[in-house]
């Protein structure tokens, strides 16, 4: 079996693009390389990202583009015009679109991973062009793909409900965390804390600065407790899109040195940011899965998340959940966690157990089974 994977969203840049879907693609490829050494794979990537960066086994061929296809203005023509020809020339048996998209004229059975339906349900969180293409692509995939992959049971239910796809055409393969997300040595955390000038206690948000993450509500909630806690709020992550209202709200609240924007966080240091924090707050409006809370729990950090979308499914009973529209409820949850050491220890233990329920190896095995089904091999 020859599988062609559209991995153009895989990024090794110090920007918001090296998050979310990029992490999913990189982890999936690495673990497919561990569980499948017999089938043949062609991995299409953006300019400058070749085999030497991905370190995949010999049955994987990496084909970087000559163009920066990580940019949607370049990637969309590749997906719709060039990909069908490449699939025919390469005699692929299956095509995998890792984010919503398959070519309209796809000449082989397609497997498409749909991460969420936010382009339909939260359209204001997208730029117009991205929203229009994403909606069109999801509709095409739901009609024409041989099989769909959803990253949570919540996303599967959303696809069944809104896209009218029969549930038997959808397989759930959860995201997971890799081995670097684990409680680090306390001495390493202290060295990191000193190097970054971090306080002994702080509230952390880590993620892309974009509308769906609901950061203005987090700012409002923190402002309610800022004077009653010694723990400042640190917002870490790259600027994404439509982030200007976040910065404007921060300025309006006048939190001064109680608030810090840390900017891009190197992947090699993410686990240390989580471990150094007293608690992790993630009040997102809508997620298809929600990696950051799981990463934080795997590092032993207590978590507060919104009670919306997939997040309760991801965190189970290992986190406090609050309404994504109620800043007072979030403020109360953060204040409670900051004040109650026993509760923090209880959530730490539960979080470590919950994070172990998710496995990239299992995700790779289930994805391989979907490829075989789409190709008519099982």
- Is 87:106 a contact under the CB 8 Å cutoff? yes
The pLDDT value given to residue 20: 79
In a structure prediction context, what are the per-residue pLDDT tens digits for the chain, which is 378 residues long?
A: 999 999 999 987 654 455 678 999 999 999 999 999 999 999 999 999 999 899 999 999 999 999 999 888 999 999 999 999 999 999 999 999 999 999 999 999 999 999 999 999 999 888 888 899 999 999 999 999 999 999 999 999 999 999 999 999 999 999 999 999 999 999 999 999 999 999 999 999 999 999 999 999 999 999 999 999 999 999 999 988 889 999 999 999 999 999 999 999 999 999 999 999 999 999 999 999 999 999 999 999 999 999 999 999 999 999 999 999 999 999 999 999 999 999 999 999 999 999 999 999 999 999 999 999 999 976
Could you state, in order of their start, the residue ranges of all structural domains in the chain?
Answer: 2-176+359-374, 186-355
2-176+359-374: CATH superfamily: Glycogen Phosphorylase B; (3.40.50.2000)
- Is 4:96 a contact under the CB 8 Å cutoff? yes
The pLDDT value given to residue 11: 80
- Is 39:16 a contact under the CB 8 Å cutoff? no
CATH class of 186-355: alpha beta
d(CA 275, CA 278): 8
Q: Same topology for domains 2-176+359-374 and 186-355, yes or no?
A: yes
- Helix ranges restricted to H, the chain: 20-35, 51-54, 72-77, 83-89, 118-121, 128-144, 153-163, 186-196, 215-225, 244-253, 270-276, 291-298, 311-315, 327-339, 341-355, 360-374
d(CA 130, CA 240): 13
Q: Which residue has the tokens 């329920």?
A: 357
- Is 110:141 a contact under the CB 8 Å cutoff? yes
The pLDDT value given to residue 16: 44
198 phi/psi in degrees, rounded to 5: -90, 145
Q: Which residue has the tokens 């009040």?
A: 283
- Is 1:91 a contact under the CB 8 Å cutoff? no
The pLDDT value given to residue 377: 74
Three-state DSSP class for 174? coil
The pLDDT value given to residue 19: 64
């Amino acid at each position: 079996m020859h599988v062609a994977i559209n991995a153009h969203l895989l990024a090794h840049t110090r920007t918001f693009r090296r998050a979310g879907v990029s992490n999913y693609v990189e982890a999936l490829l690495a673990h497919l390389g561990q569980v499948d050494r017999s089938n043949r794979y062609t991995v299409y990537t953006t300019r400058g990202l070749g085999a030497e960066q991905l370190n995949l086994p010999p049955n994987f061929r990496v084909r970087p583009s000559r163009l920066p296809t990580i940019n949607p203005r370049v990637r969309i023509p590749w997906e719709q015009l060039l990909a069908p020809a490449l699939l025919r020339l390469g005699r692929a048996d299956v095509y995998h679109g890792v984010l919503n998209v398959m070519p309209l004229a796809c000449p082989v059975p397609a497997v498409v991973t749909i991460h969420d339906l936010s382009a339909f349900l939260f359209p204001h969180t997208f730029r117009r062009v991205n929203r229009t293409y994403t909606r069109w692509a999801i509709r095409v995939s739901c009609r024409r793909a041989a099989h769909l992959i959803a990253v949570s049971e919540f996303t599967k239910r959303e696809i069944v409900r809104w896209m009218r796809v029969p549930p038997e055409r959808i397989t759930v393969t959860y995201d997971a965390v890799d081995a670097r997300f684990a409680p680090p040595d306390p001495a390493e955390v202290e060295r990191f804390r000193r190097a970054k000038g971090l306080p002994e206690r702080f509230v952390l948000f880590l993620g892309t600065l974009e509308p769906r993450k609901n950061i203005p509500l987090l700012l409002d909630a923190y402002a309610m407790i800022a004077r009653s806690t010694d723990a400042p709020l640190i917002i870490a992550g790259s600027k994404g899109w439509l982030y200007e209202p976040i910065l404007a709200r921060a300025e309006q609240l006048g939190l001064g040195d109680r608030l810090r924007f840390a900017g891009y966080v190197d992947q090699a240091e993410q686990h240390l940011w989580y471990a150094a924090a007293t608690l992790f707050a993630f009040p997102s409006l809508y997620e298809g899965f929600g990696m950051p809370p799981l990463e934080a729990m795997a590092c032993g950090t207590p978590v507060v998340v919104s009670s919306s979308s997939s997040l309760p499914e991801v965190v189970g009973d290992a986190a406090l959940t609050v309404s994504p529209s109620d800043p007072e409820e979030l403020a109360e949850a953060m204040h409670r966690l900051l004040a109650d050491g026993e509760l923090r220890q209880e959530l730490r233990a539960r979080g470590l157990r919950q994070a172990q329920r998710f496995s990239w190896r299992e995700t790779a095995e289930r994805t391989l089974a979907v490829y075989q089904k789409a190709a008519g091999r099982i």
